[in-house]
């Protein structure tokens, strides 16, 4: 199948690589061209605009940084909607706003195309190992059409409802992670201040009601002073900002998520924008 | 062995039952005498004060509600320290303050006795099934002496350091749980407002980075409107109060734990003191 892939950062490159390895023709575009080199050397075909990628492809994936960039890639000059999209399927895997996902879906329908919002969780390791979780929003038809491709890149891909629903599930996921990151940081700060053996505390707590993925996975990294990004602070701040904006639109208050966002904002101001989210503990530890 | 057990509420009764079933002589006291009936019918021997329990026993367990009650049972009229305690081992399993644990240890040493603080996690089910986690503070000698008894009631019992360390680990545990409870509540509030299928959201998120024991265990209960106590709101408020007092003594700020405590205080004011901690979501849902 002829597949387009726009946005070949760490995540996008790994995902596009799996599609290519499965024998598909993959047409690629990235703002920084050099980031497509590995894929092109493996057989992907460079196109110099999102519009041209779309012209060549039946199903077009996007995996970009921020909602404003997603907006430009779909609606801007030389963007996806400048191409003839009738009969095509547009899949945005960026973690972006439910509102933008709905706007893309409306435009797609207007031009007789289909759209899915399909953000993922599982990070760079999940992308490399094809063990991502895909959270999709859109029609069942569109989802069923995409499913064989999702199966090449994920261990779990589910349709959660109409356009925007995939983004909403991802927001719920980020709200959940926000709480586990503050919890992990504060319990470790407390345990260290109380002169406890942190390795043993992590093991003990991970066997009971305080158990979280974050504590089991990030706790040991923190003990090795490993603050390298599995997931960037700056991207988590973006996601929590979207979650809180959406919450406000729905007239719900999420005080713990607000607090987590404020703490991560402080962390970014301290210069940790490009560190991993586990660096939150640096607000307490030098 | 002659074992004393003071405080036979839900947790204490189950734990004392295991010790009795293993063939030990168990001397029991509880403020409300009727709560010892089951144990006495099974062979435990009623004593009418903590002092008398201590006189008859070599190792004395306490499992009481609040630190002020622990203080009274150890230091008050007809309390443990009114008995001859030389050579005996005093084990407080109440979740109480590290400061009080240290005070008990100092008094024990003065009278040639030993003490351990040994709070547990795992709740009523852990107590019934003898699968608790015991977090102990005190000397290695004292811990080794208690270990065969801990093995009768727990799946994991560890010494974390000097007197008070068991309570500190339990506080770290409660700090961790506080964050997972606010996170779980807020992500479910968000998901419901976004019209998502909550059962599917819980399943999807439990397979990734937002996974927590709380979401997997309490999430499904909330969907069945089951707010019955695995763990009481009023006891969690007590624990978080201790954690924050201790944090203040150690000059550390725990903003997410403070927020969780404030939310649980609101919940108690709404009349949910005797509900389970998963009822936190009632701050949003009617």
What ipTM, to 2 d.p.?
Answer: 0.95
Query: Which residues of chain B register pLDDT less than 70?
Result: none
Residue B37, helix vs strand vs coil: helix
Exposure letters A192-213 (e unless 16+ CB within 10 A, then b):
bbbebbbebbbbbbbbbbbbbb
* Distance separating alpha carbons of residues A17 and A26, to the nearest angstrom: 9
CB crowding B37-53: b at 16 or more within 10 Å, else e: eebeeeebbebebbbbb
Q: Which residues of B touch A210 (CB under 8 A)?
A: 121, 172-174, 176-177, 180, 213
B264 and B172 within one domain: yes
Task: Tell me, yes or no, if B246 comes closer than 8 A to chain A by beta carbon.
Answer: yes
Q: Please, what is the Cα angle at B270 between B266 and B275, to 5 degrees?
A: 95
- pLDDT at position B38: 97
Return the pLDDT at B42: 98
Q: Which domain holds residue B58?
A: 2-162
Please give the DSSP secondary-structure letter assigned to residue A270.
I
A197 with B255: Cβ contact below 8 A: no
pLDDT of A125 higher than 90: no
Q: Do A210 and B186 make contact, defined as CB atoms within 8 angstroms?
A: no
The 10s digit of each residue's pLDDT in B182-220 is 999 999 999 999 999 999 999 999 999 999 999 999 999
Last residue of a domain, one of B112, B139, B162: B162
Residues A230 and A131 placed together within one structural domain of the fold: no
* pLDDT of the residue at A141: 98
| Marked catalytic residue, from B170, B234, B261, B282 | B170
Q: Are residues B156 and B174 in the same domain?
A: no
Distances in Å between the Cα of A100 and the Cα atoms of A94, A141, B91 are 11, 20, 59
Residue A193 token pair: 């201040």
Q: Based on the domain organization, do B24 and B131 belong to the same domain?
A: yes
Measured CA angle at B67 (ends B62, B73), to 5 deg: 45
At B125 the pLDDT is 87
Q: Answer yes or no: do A185 and A73 share one domain.
A: no
Give yes or no: residues B131 and B198 share one domain: no
Of the listed A103, A170, A261, A282, which one is catalytic? Answer: A170
Predicted local distance difference test score (pLDDT) of residue A123:
85
Note if A103 is an active site residue.
no
Instruction: Tokens for B265, please give them.
Output: 């205080």
> What is the average per-residue pLDDT within A215-224?
97
Judgement on whether residues B205 and B148 belong to the same structural domain of the protein? no
B114 and B37, same structural domain?
yes
Q: How many residues does chain A have?
A: 286
pLDDT value at residue B230: 86
Say yes or no: A119 and A188 in one domain.
no
* Beta strand ranges found along chain B (DSSP E): 2-6, 25-29, 45-46, 59-62, 89-92, 114-117, 120-121, 132-136, 154-159
Using one digit for the tens of pLDDT, what is the confidence trace for A29-74?
999 999 999 999 999 999 999 999 999 999 999 999 899 999 999 9
User: Which strands sit side by side in the sheet containing B45-46, from one edge to the other?
Assistant: B45-46, B25-29, B2-6, B59-62, B89-92, B114-117
The last residue of one of the domains, among A145, A162, A179, is A162
User: What is the per-residue pLDDT for A286?
Assistant: 84
CATH at B27: 3.40.50.720
Residues in chain B: 286
CA atoms within 13 A on the CB side of A194: 33
Write down which residue in B129, B162, B195 finishes a domain: B162
Q: Are residues A100 and A175 in the same domain?
A: no
Strand pairing category for B120-121 and A2-6: unpaired
Q: Report the CATH number at residue B247.
A: 1.10.1040.10
Let me know whether A133 and A272 are in one domain: no
Is the domain of A51 the same as that of A146? yes
Number of structural domains found in chain B:
2
State residue B118's pLDDT score. 98
pLDDT of A270: 98
């Amino acid at each position: 199948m002829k597949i387009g892939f726009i946005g070949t950062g760490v995540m996008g490159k790994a995902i596009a690589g799996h599609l290519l390895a499965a024998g598909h023709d993959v047409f690629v575009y990235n703002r920084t061209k050099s980031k497509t080199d590995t894929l092109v050397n493996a057989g992907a075909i460079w196109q110099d605009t999102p519009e041209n990628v779309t012209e060549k492809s039946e199903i077009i994936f996007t995996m970009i940084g921020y909602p404003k960039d997603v907006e430009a890639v779909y609606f801007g000059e030389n963007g996806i909607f400048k191409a003839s999209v009738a009969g095509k399927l547009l899949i945005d895997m960026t973690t972006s706003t439910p509102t933008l996902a709905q706007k893309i879906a409306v435009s797609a329908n207007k031009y007789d195309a289909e759209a899915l919002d399909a953000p993922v969780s599982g990070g760079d390791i999940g992308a490399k190992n094809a063990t991502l979780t895909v959270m999709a929003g859109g029609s069942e038809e569109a989802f069923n059409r995409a499913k064989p491709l999702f199966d090449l890149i994920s261990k779990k891909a589910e349709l959660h409802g109409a356009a925007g629903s995939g983004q909403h599930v991802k927001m719920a996921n980020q709200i959940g992670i926000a709480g586990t990151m503050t919890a992990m940081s504060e319990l470790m700060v407390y345990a260290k201040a109380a002169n406890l053996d942190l390795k043993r505390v992590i093991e003990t707590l991970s066997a009971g009601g305080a158990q979280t993925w974050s504590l089991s996975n990030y706790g040991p990294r923190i003990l090795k002073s490993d603050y390298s990004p599995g997931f960037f602070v700056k991207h988590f701040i973006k996601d929590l900002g979207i979650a809180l904006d959406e919450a406000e639109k729905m007239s719900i208050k999420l005080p713990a998520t607000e607090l987590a966002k404020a703490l991560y904002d402080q962390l970014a101001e301290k210069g940790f924008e490009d560190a991993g989210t586990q660096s939150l503990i640096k607000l307490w530890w030098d």
